[in-house]
Amino acid sequence: MKVMNFVSNIAMPLIILLIVIYGLKEKNKVFDTFLEGAKEGLEITLSIFPTLIGLFVAIGALRSSGILDIIIHFLTPILNVIHFPSELMPLAMLRPISGSSSIAVATDIMKNYGVDSSLGIMASTIMGSTETTIYTIAVYTSCIKIKKTRWILAAALTADLVGMLASVAICRFMS
Amino acid sequence: MLNIVWPIFIIISFSYAIFSGNLESLNSSIFQSTEDAINLTLSLLGTICLWNGIMQIASKTTIIDKLTKVLNPIIRVLFPDLKNNPQIQQEVSMNMIANILGLGNAATPLGLKAMKSMQKENNKKDILSDSMMMFIVINTASIQIIPTTVIAIRNSLGSENPTSIVFPVWIVTICAAMARNTSNKAINKNYKKGEIII
Protein backbone atom coordinates (compact mmCIF):
# COMPACT_ATOMS: atom_id res chain seq x y z
CA MET A 1 0.00 0.00 0.00
CA LYS A 2 2.71 2.51 1.05
CA VAL A 3 4.92 1.47 -1.87
CA MET A 4 2.01 1.91 -4.30
CA ASN A 5 1.37 5.42 -3.02
CA PHE A 6 5.03 6.31 -3.16
CA VAL A 7 5.39 5.11 -6.75
CA SER A 8 2.19 6.94 -7.73
CA ASN A 9 3.40 10.16 -6.17
CA ILE A 10 6.97 10.12 -7.42
CA ALA A 11 6.23 9.22 -11.06
CA MET A 12 5.24 12.63 -12.37
CA PRO A 13 7.80 14.81 -10.53
CA LEU A 14 10.57 12.38 -11.45
CA ILE A 15 9.73 12.42 -15.17
CA ILE A 16 9.54 16.22 -15.23
CA LEU A 17 12.85 16.49 -13.35
CA LEU A 18 14.61 14.07 -15.72
CA ILE A 19 13.34 15.82 -18.83
CA VAL A 20 14.38 19.28 -17.61
CA ILE A 21 17.85 18.03 -16.63
CA TYR A 22 18.18 16.24 -19.97
CA GLY A 23 17.17 19.38 -21.83
CA LEU A 24 19.77 21.43 -19.96
CA LYS A 25 22.43 18.80 -20.56
CA GLU A 26 21.86 19.05 -24.29
CA LYS A 27 22.03 22.84 -24.04
CA ASN A 28 18.47 23.58 -25.13
CA LYS A 29 16.60 26.76 -24.27
CA VAL A 30 14.32 24.77 -22.00
CA PHE A 31 11.95 27.52 -20.97
CA ASP A 32 11.36 28.79 -24.52
CA THR A 33 10.70 25.22 -25.62
CA PHE A 34 8.34 24.74 -22.68
CA LEU A 35 6.37 27.83 -23.71
CA GLU A 36 5.99 26.55 -27.27
CA GLY A 37 4.53 23.29 -26.00
CA ALA A 38 2.32 24.93 -23.40
CA LYS A 39 0.85 27.22 -26.06
CA GLU A 40 -0.05 24.19 -28.12
CA GLY A 41 -1.71 22.70 -25.02
CA LEU A 42 -3.94 25.77 -24.90
CA GLU A 43 -5.20 25.08 -28.43
CA ILE A 44 -5.79 21.39 -27.70
CA THR A 45 -7.85 22.13 -24.60
CA LEU A 46 -9.89 24.87 -26.22
CA SER A 47 -10.67 22.57 -29.14
CA ILE A 48 -12.29 19.97 -26.86
CA PHE A 49 -14.27 22.54 -24.84
CA PRO A 50 -17.37 22.67 -27.11
CA THR A 51 -17.56 18.86 -27.10
CA LEU A 52 -17.36 18.79 -23.32
CA ILE A 53 -20.18 21.35 -22.92
CA GLY A 54 -22.49 19.30 -25.16
CA LEU A 55 -21.69 16.02 -23.47
CA PHE A 56 -21.81 17.34 -19.91
CA VAL A 57 -25.33 18.60 -20.53
CA ALA A 58 -26.39 15.25 -22.02
CA ILE A 59 -24.84 13.15 -19.23
CA GLY A 60 -26.13 15.54 -16.56
CA ALA A 61 -29.62 15.21 -18.04
CA LEU A 62 -29.37 11.41 -17.99
CA ARG A 63 -28.68 11.55 -14.28
CA SER A 64 -31.05 14.33 -13.21
CA SER A 65 -34.00 13.01 -15.21
CA GLY A 66 -33.80 9.76 -13.25
CA ILE A 67 -33.42 7.55 -16.32
CA LEU A 68 -29.84 6.61 -15.38
CA ASP A 69 -31.03 5.23 -12.04
CA ILE A 70 -33.57 3.07 -13.85
CA ILE A 71 -30.94 1.72 -16.25
CA ILE A 72 -28.58 1.00 -13.34
CA HIS A 73 -31.42 -0.66 -11.44
CA PHE A 74 -32.05 -3.09 -14.31
CA LEU A 75 -28.37 -3.82 -14.82
CA THR A 76 -27.54 -4.48 -11.17
CA PRO A 77 -28.61 -8.17 -11.01
CA ILE A 78 -26.62 -9.01 -14.17
CA LEU A 79 -23.54 -7.11 -13.10
CA ASN A 80 -23.60 -8.57 -9.60
CA VAL A 81 -22.72 -11.90 -11.19
CA ILE A 82 -19.32 -10.58 -12.32
CA HIS A 83 -18.94 -8.30 -9.24
CA PHE A 84 -18.92 -5.16 -11.37
CA PRO A 85 -20.48 -2.07 -9.72
CA SER A 86 -23.46 -1.04 -11.85
CA GLU A 87 -22.73 2.64 -11.19
CA LEU A 88 -19.69 2.24 -13.44
CA MET A 89 -21.64 0.66 -16.29
CA PRO A 90 -22.29 3.90 -18.22
CA LEU A 91 -18.54 4.55 -18.19
CA ALA A 92 -17.71 1.00 -19.27
CA MET A 93 -20.11 1.32 -22.21
CA LEU A 94 -18.98 4.74 -23.43
CA ARG A 95 -15.25 4.41 -22.84
CA PRO A 96 -14.47 2.44 -26.05
CA ILE A 97 -16.64 4.73 -28.18
CA SER A 98 -15.74 8.28 -27.34
CA GLY A 99 -12.98 9.96 -25.34
CA SER A 100 -14.82 13.14 -24.50
CA SER A 101 -18.07 11.45 -23.47
CA SER A 102 -16.16 9.10 -21.19
CA ILE A 103 -14.50 12.14 -19.63
CA ALA A 104 -17.99 13.54 -19.01
CA VAL A 105 -19.31 10.28 -17.51
CA ALA A 106 -16.22 9.67 -15.38
CA THR A 107 -16.41 13.22 -14.03
CA ASP A 108 -20.10 12.70 -13.29
CA ILE A 109 -19.35 9.47 -11.36
CA MET A 110 -16.49 11.02 -9.39
CA LYS A 111 -18.59 14.05 -8.53
CA ASN A 112 -21.65 12.08 -7.43
CA TYR A 113 -20.00 9.29 -5.45
CA GLY A 114 -16.91 11.20 -4.27
CA VAL A 115 -13.64 11.56 -6.11
CA ASP A 116 -11.70 9.63 -3.44
CA SER A 117 -14.44 7.05 -2.80
CA SER A 118 -13.85 3.54 -4.09
CA LEU A 119 -16.21 4.14 -7.05
CA GLY A 120 -14.34 7.37 -7.82
CA ILE A 121 -10.98 5.61 -7.76
CA MET A 122 -12.31 2.74 -9.89
CA ALA A 123 -13.64 5.20 -12.46
CA SER A 124 -10.28 7.00 -12.49
CA THR A 125 -8.40 3.75 -13.00
CA ILE A 126 -10.67 2.68 -15.85
CA MET A 127 -10.19 6.06 -17.51
CA GLY A 128 -6.41 5.92 -17.14
CA SER A 129 -5.92 2.35 -18.28
CA THR A 130 -8.22 2.01 -21.29
CA GLU A 131 -8.44 3.70 -24.68
CA THR A 132 -11.17 4.72 -27.10
CA THR A 133 -10.87 1.30 -28.72
CA ILE A 134 -13.59 1.50 -31.38
CA TYR A 135 -12.52 4.95 -32.48
CA THR A 136 -8.86 3.92 -32.71
CA ILE A 137 -9.62 0.82 -34.76
CA ALA A 138 -11.84 2.86 -37.09
CA VAL A 139 -9.16 5.49 -37.69
CA TYR A 140 -6.34 3.00 -38.23
CA THR A 141 -8.20 0.66 -40.55
CA SER A 142 -9.99 3.29 -42.59
CA CYS A 143 -6.78 5.19 -43.41
CA ILE A 144 -5.60 2.26 -45.54
CA LYS A 145 -9.07 1.16 -46.67
CA ILE A 146 -8.98 -2.27 -45.07
CA LYS A 147 -12.25 -4.19 -45.27
CA LYS A 148 -11.49 -7.43 -43.46
CA THR A 149 -10.44 -6.68 -39.91
CA ARG A 150 -10.13 -10.27 -38.67
CA TRP A 151 -12.18 -9.94 -35.45
CA ILE A 152 -9.77 -7.35 -34.10
CA LEU A 153 -12.67 -5.46 -32.53
CA ALA A 154 -13.71 -8.55 -30.57
CA ALA A 155 -10.13 -9.10 -29.38
CA ALA A 156 -9.69 -5.47 -28.33
CA LEU A 157 -13.06 -5.23 -26.57
CA THR A 158 -12.36 -8.46 -24.66
CA ALA A 159 -9.13 -6.88 -23.46
CA ASP A 160 -11.02 -3.73 -22.46
CA LEU A 161 -13.39 -5.84 -20.40
CA VAL A 162 -10.42 -7.50 -18.69
CA GLY A 163 -8.99 -4.02 -18.01
CA MET A 164 -12.23 -2.82 -16.45
CA LEU A 165 -12.63 -5.89 -14.26
CA ALA A 166 -8.98 -5.57 -13.23
CA SER A 167 -9.54 -1.88 -12.33
CA VAL A 168 -12.39 -2.84 -10.04
CA ALA A 169 -10.39 -5.71 -8.50
CA ILE A 170 -7.26 -3.68 -7.78
CA CYS A 171 -9.22 -0.80 -6.27
CA ARG A 172 -11.06 -3.26 -3.99
CA PHE A 173 -7.70 -4.71 -3.01
CA MET A 174 -6.28 -1.25 -2.26
CA SER A 175 -9.13 -0.04 -0.07
CA MET B 1 -20.42 8.26 -33.43
CA LEU B 2 -21.50 11.14 -31.22
CA ASN B 3 -23.96 12.19 -33.91
CA ILE B 4 -25.91 9.09 -32.87
CA VAL B 5 -25.14 8.83 -29.15
CA TRP B 6 -25.67 12.47 -28.21
CA PRO B 7 -29.23 12.88 -29.60
CA ILE B 8 -30.21 9.53 -28.04
CA PHE B 9 -29.08 10.76 -24.62
CA ILE B 10 -30.94 14.04 -25.04
CA ILE B 11 -34.14 12.43 -26.29
CA ILE B 12 -34.43 9.68 -23.68
CA SER B 13 -33.48 11.85 -20.72
CA PHE B 14 -35.48 14.94 -21.67
CA SER B 15 -38.62 13.00 -22.56
CA TYR B 16 -38.31 10.85 -19.43
CA ALA B 17 -37.98 14.02 -17.32
CA ILE B 18 -41.17 15.41 -18.86
CA PHE B 19 -43.12 12.21 -18.20
CA SER B 20 -41.82 11.63 -14.69
CA GLY B 21 -42.08 15.28 -13.61
CA ASN B 22 -38.37 15.65 -12.87
CA LEU B 23 -38.27 18.92 -14.79
CA GLU B 24 -36.95 21.05 -11.96
CA SER B 25 -33.89 18.93 -11.42
CA LEU B 26 -33.38 18.66 -15.19
CA ASN B 27 -33.43 22.44 -15.55
CA SER B 28 -30.98 23.02 -12.77
CA SER B 29 -28.73 20.26 -14.07
CA ILE B 30 -28.54 21.85 -17.53
CA PHE B 31 -26.99 24.99 -16.10
CA GLN B 32 -24.94 23.11 -13.54
CA SER B 33 -23.49 20.97 -16.33
CA THR B 34 -22.26 23.90 -18.39
CA GLU B 35 -20.61 25.27 -15.26
CA ASP B 36 -19.01 21.87 -14.58
CA ALA B 37 -17.70 21.72 -18.13
CA ILE B 38 -16.08 25.11 -17.71
CA ASN B 39 -14.49 24.13 -14.40
CA LEU B 40 -13.12 20.92 -15.87
CA THR B 41 -11.80 22.68 -18.97
CA LEU B 42 -10.00 25.23 -16.81
CA SER B 43 -8.43 22.47 -14.78
CA LEU B 44 -7.52 20.47 -17.90
CA LEU B 45 -6.07 23.62 -19.40
CA GLY B 46 -3.49 23.89 -16.63
CA THR B 47 -2.45 20.25 -16.65
CA ILE B 48 -2.41 19.82 -20.42
CA CYS B 49 -0.41 23.01 -21.00
CA LEU B 50 2.12 22.01 -18.35
CA TRP B 51 2.49 18.47 -19.68
CA ASN B 52 2.63 19.56 -23.29
CA GLY B 53 5.35 22.06 -22.43
CA ILE B 54 7.40 19.42 -20.62
CA MET B 55 6.98 16.99 -23.51
CA GLN B 56 8.02 19.68 -25.97
CA ILE B 57 11.32 19.88 -24.07
CA ALA B 58 11.60 16.09 -24.28
CA SER B 59 10.94 16.06 -28.01
CA LYS B 60 13.75 18.57 -28.62
CA THR B 61 16.29 16.31 -26.87
CA THR B 62 17.64 12.93 -27.92
CA ILE B 63 15.48 11.16 -25.29
CA ILE B 64 13.00 9.96 -27.90
CA ASP B 65 15.74 8.50 -30.11
CA LYS B 66 17.23 6.72 -27.13
CA LEU B 67 13.88 5.34 -25.97
CA THR B 68 13.24 4.15 -29.53
CA LYS B 69 16.44 2.09 -29.30
CA VAL B 70 15.36 0.65 -25.95
CA LEU B 71 12.11 -0.48 -27.55
CA ASN B 72 13.80 -2.23 -30.48
CA PRO B 73 14.15 -5.69 -28.89
CA ILE B 74 10.48 -5.58 -27.80
CA ILE B 75 9.44 -4.61 -31.30
CA ARG B 76 11.40 -7.48 -32.79
CA VAL B 77 9.46 -9.91 -30.57
CA LEU B 78 6.04 -8.32 -31.17
CA PHE B 79 6.49 -7.77 -34.91
CA PRO B 80 8.46 -10.74 -36.31
CA ASP B 81 7.29 -9.88 -39.85
CA LEU B 82 9.04 -6.52 -39.77
CA LYS B 83 12.51 -7.88 -39.05
CA ASN B 84 13.84 -6.94 -42.50
CA ASN B 85 12.32 -3.52 -42.44
CA PRO B 86 14.07 -1.12 -40.03
CA GLN B 87 12.20 1.87 -41.47
CA ILE B 88 8.78 0.54 -40.39
CA GLN B 89 10.22 -0.65 -37.08
CA GLN B 90 11.34 2.93 -36.46
CA GLU B 91 7.89 4.32 -37.27
CA VAL B 92 6.20 1.78 -35.02
CA SER B 93 8.47 2.51 -32.08
CA MET B 94 8.12 6.27 -32.47
CA ASN B 95 4.35 5.86 -32.29
CA MET B 96 4.71 3.73 -29.16
CA ILE B 97 7.01 6.26 -27.48
CA ALA B 98 4.57 9.07 -28.29
CA ASN B 99 1.80 7.00 -26.71
CA ILE B 100 3.86 6.22 -23.61
CA LEU B 101 4.68 9.89 -23.10
CA GLY B 102 1.04 10.86 -23.56
CA LEU B 103 1.57 12.80 -26.78
CA GLY B 104 -1.74 11.73 -28.28
CA ASN B 105 -1.63 14.41 -30.96
CA ALA B 106 1.78 13.26 -32.15
CA ALA B 107 1.02 9.55 -31.82
CA THR B 108 -1.87 9.39 -34.29
CA PRO B 109 -0.10 10.87 -37.36
CA LEU B 110 2.95 8.68 -36.63
CA GLY B 111 0.69 5.66 -36.30
CA LEU B 112 -1.12 6.35 -39.55
CA LYS B 113 2.23 6.67 -41.30
CA ALA B 114 3.32 3.30 -39.92
CA MET B 115 0.02 1.73 -41.06
CA LYS B 116 0.53 3.06 -44.58
CA SER B 117 4.07 1.68 -44.69
CA MET B 118 2.84 -1.70 -43.48
CA GLN B 119 0.10 -1.69 -46.11
CA LYS B 120 2.80 -1.40 -48.79
CA GLU B 121 4.32 -4.65 -47.52
CA ASN B 122 0.92 -6.30 -47.13
CA ASN B 123 0.26 -9.13 -49.61
CA LYS B 124 -3.51 -9.04 -49.39
CA LYS B 125 -4.48 -5.37 -49.54
CA ASP B 126 -7.99 -5.75 -48.13
CA ILE B 127 -7.09 -7.84 -45.05
CA LEU B 128 -5.14 -6.68 -42.00
CA SER B 129 -1.68 -8.26 -41.83
CA ASP B 130 -0.35 -9.79 -38.60
CA SER B 131 1.86 -6.81 -37.85
CA MET B 132 -0.98 -4.39 -38.52
CA MET B 133 -3.19 -6.28 -36.08
CA MET B 134 -0.51 -6.20 -33.42
CA PHE B 135 0.04 -2.51 -34.07
CA ILE B 136 -3.65 -1.62 -33.73
CA VAL B 137 -3.94 -3.76 -30.61
CA ILE B 138 -1.06 -1.82 -29.03
CA ASN B 139 -2.72 1.46 -29.95
CA THR B 140 -6.00 0.42 -28.33
CA ALA B 141 -4.11 -0.26 -25.11
CA SER B 142 -3.55 2.87 -23.09
CA ILE B 143 0.20 2.60 -22.52
CA GLN B 144 0.52 6.19 -21.34
CA ILE B 145 2.88 6.37 -18.36
CA ILE B 146 1.19 9.33 -16.61
CA PRO B 147 -2.62 9.51 -17.05
CA THR B 148 -2.62 13.31 -17.09
CA THR B 149 -6.27 13.81 -18.05
CA VAL B 150 -7.58 11.72 -15.15
CA ILE B 151 -5.23 13.48 -12.75
CA ALA B 152 -6.59 16.82 -13.98
CA ILE B 153 -10.19 15.69 -13.52
CA ARG B 154 -9.44 14.43 -10.00
CA ASN B 155 -7.71 17.68 -9.22
CA SER B 156 -10.64 19.77 -10.43
CA LEU B 157 -12.99 17.81 -8.14
CA GLY B 158 -10.80 18.51 -5.12
CA SER B 159 -9.26 15.08 -4.61
CA GLU B 160 -6.95 14.77 -1.61
CA ASN B 161 -4.45 12.83 -3.68
CA PRO B 162 -5.04 13.22 -7.43
CA THR B 163 -2.00 11.14 -8.44
CA SER B 164 -2.81 8.18 -6.19
CA ILE B 165 -4.19 6.26 -9.17
CA VAL B 166 -0.93 6.14 -11.16
CA PHE B 167 0.32 2.81 -9.84
CA PRO B 168 -3.06 0.99 -10.05
CA VAL B 169 -3.36 2.29 -13.62
CA TRP B 170 0.00 0.72 -14.50
CA ILE B 171 -0.99 -2.65 -13.05
CA VAL B 172 -4.31 -2.64 -14.93
CA THR B 173 -2.60 -1.54 -18.16
CA ILE B 174 -0.25 -4.53 -17.90
CA CYS B 175 -3.15 -6.94 -17.18
CA ALA B 176 -5.13 -5.57 -20.12
CA ALA B 177 -2.08 -5.66 -22.40
CA MET B 178 -1.60 -9.35 -21.65
CA ALA B 179 -5.28 -9.98 -22.32
CA ARG B 180 -4.96 -8.09 -25.59
CA ASN B 181 -2.01 -10.16 -26.68
CA THR B 182 -3.70 -13.45 -25.73
CA SER B 183 -7.01 -12.73 -27.42
CA ASN B 184 -5.20 -11.40 -30.49
CA LYS B 185 -3.03 -14.54 -30.72
CA ALA B 186 -6.04 -16.82 -30.22
CA ILE B 187 -7.91 -15.12 -33.03
CA ASN B 188 -4.88 -15.17 -35.32
CA LYS B 189 -4.40 -18.88 -34.76
CA ASN B 190 -8.00 -19.68 -35.65
CA TYR B 191 -7.83 -17.32 -38.56
CA LYS B 192 -4.86 -19.12 -40.06
CA LYS B 193 -6.70 -22.40 -39.75
CA GLY B 194 -9.36 -20.77 -41.87
CA GLU B 195 -12.11 -20.99 -39.28
CA ILE B 196 -12.76 -17.31 -38.90
CA ILE B 197 -12.98 -15.03 -41.89
CA ILE B 198 -14.56 -11.67 -41.45
pLDDT given for residue B185 in this prediction: 78
Positive or negative CA dihedral for A84, A86, A92, A93?
positive
**In whole angstroms, what is the distance from residue B113 CA to residue B102 CA?**
18
Q: Name the residue ranges covered by the structural domains of chain B.
A: 62-193
Give the pLDDT score at A8.
83
| Residue A143 to chain B, least CA–CA distance (Å) | 7
The DSSP code sequence of A86-111 is GGGHHHHHHTTT-HHHHHHHHHHHHH
pLDDT average, residue stretch A89-99: 88
Asked if B58 and A23 come within 8 Å (Cβ–Cβ), the reply is: yes
| Residue in A with minimal Cα distance to B116 | A144
A79: confidence class by pLDDT, cuts 50, 70, 90: confident
Query: How many angstroms separate the CA of residue B73 from the nearest CA in chain A?
Result: 23
* Rounded Cα–Cα distance for residues A131 and A37 (Å): 24
Element (H, E) at A160: helix A152-174
**Residues of chain B found within 8 Å of residue A61, distances taken between Cβ atoms:** 9-10, 13-14, 17, 26, 29-30, 33
Would you say the C-alpha torsion B138, B143, B147, B148 has a positive or negative sign? negative
For the stretch B32-50, pLDDT in tens is: 999 989 988 888 888 889 9
**Strand partners for A130:** B141
Provide long-range contacts, Cβ within 8 A and 24+ apart, for B156-162: B156/A107, B156/B39, B156/B40, B156/B42, B156/B43, B156/B44, B157/A107, B157/A110, B157/A111, B157/A115, B158/A115, B159/A115, B159/A116, B159/A120, B160/A116, B161/A5, B161/A8, B161/A9, B161/A116
Confidence of residue B197 (pLDDT cuts 50, 70, 90): very low
Residues A91 and A105 sit within 8 Å (Cβ to Cβ): yes
**B188 pLDDT above the threshold of 80:** no
ipTM: 0.85
Tens digits of residue pLDDT in A120-141: 999 999 999 998 888 888 888 8
Distances (CA, A) of B47 to A127, A165, B43, B151: 16, 28, 7, 8
Q: Which domain holds residue A139?
A: 2-174
- pLDDT at residue B194 tops 60: no
pLDDT for B191 equals: 62
Residue B141, helix vs strand vs coil? strand
CA contacts within 13 A on the Cβ side of B96: 22
Q: How does pLDDT run across B56-67, given as a tens digit for each residue?
A: 898 888 887 888
pLDDT tens-digit readout, B111-160: 888 898 888 888 888 888 888 888 998 888 888 888 888 998 998 898 99
Give residue A1's pLDDT: 64
pLDDT at A88 over 80: yes
User: Do B165 and A124 make contact, defined as CB atoms within 8 angstroms?
Assistant: yes
Query: B169 in contact with A at a CB cutoff of 8 Å?
Result: yes
CB contact under 8 A, B187 and A155: yes
Q: How far apart are CA A108 and CA A115, in angstroms?
A: 10
CB contact residues (below 8 A), chain B span 19-38, against chain A? 20, 22, 25-26, 28-30, 32-34, 36-38
Structural domain count of chain A: 1
* Portion of chain A with pLDDT greater than 70, in percent: 99
Is residue A168 over pLDDT 90?
yes
User: What does pLDDT average to over chain A?
Assistant: 88
What are the pLDDT digits (tens) for A33-67?
A: 999 989 988 988 888 889 889 989 999 999 899 89
Nearest Cα to B145, choosing from B170, B163, B181, B168? B170
pLDDT band (50, 70, 90) for residue A113: very high
Kindly calculate the radius of gyration of chain A based on its CA atoms and give it in whole angstroms: 20
pLDDT given at position B198: 38
The alpha carbon of residue B89 is apart from the nearest alpha carbon of chain A, in Å, by: 17
Euclidean distance between CA atoms A17 and B58, whole angstroms: 11
Closest Cβ–Cβ partner in B33, B60, B142 for A128: B142
Mind telling me how many Å the CA of A1 is from chain B's nearest CA? Answer: 10
Q: Evaluate if residue B195 carries a pLDDT over 50.
A: no
DSSP character at residue A130 = B
Of A79, A136, A127, residue with least CA distance to A104: A127
> What is the per-residue pLDDT for B7?
93
* B contacts of A128 (beta carbons < 8 Å): 142, 144, 147, 150, 165-166, 169, 172-173
Structure letter (DSSP) for residue B164: G
Alpha-carbon span B185 to B162, nearest angstrom: 36
B64-109 per-position pLDDT tens digit: 788 888 888 888 888 888 888 888 888 898 888 888 887 776 788 8
pLDDT score at A24: 93
For residue A77, the distance in angstroms to the closest alpha carbon of chain B comes to 23
CA B151 – CA B166 distance, rounded (Å): 9
Q: What H or E segment, with its residue span, contains residue B134?
A: helix B130-140
* Residue B22 to residue A66, Cβ atoms within 8 A: yes
C-alpha to C-alpha distance for B62 and A135, rounded to whole angstroms: 32
Percent of chain A whose pLDDT exceeds 90: 39
Q: How far is CA A131 from CA A4, A52, B116, in A?
A: 23, 18, 22
User: In whole angstroms, how far apart are CA B189 and each of A150, B49, B125, B179?
Assistant: 11, 44, 20, 15
Long-range CB contacts (within 8 A, 24+) of B74-78: B78/B134, B78/B138
Q: Which amino acid appears at position B145 of this protein? A: I
Q: How many CB atoms lie within 10 A of CB B28?
A: 12
How far is residue B125's CA from residue B119's CA, in Å, rounded to a whole number? 7
pLDDT at position B190 over 80: no
- From chain A, the residues in CB contact with B186 under 8 A are 155
- Cβ separation A40–B52 shorter than 8 A: yes
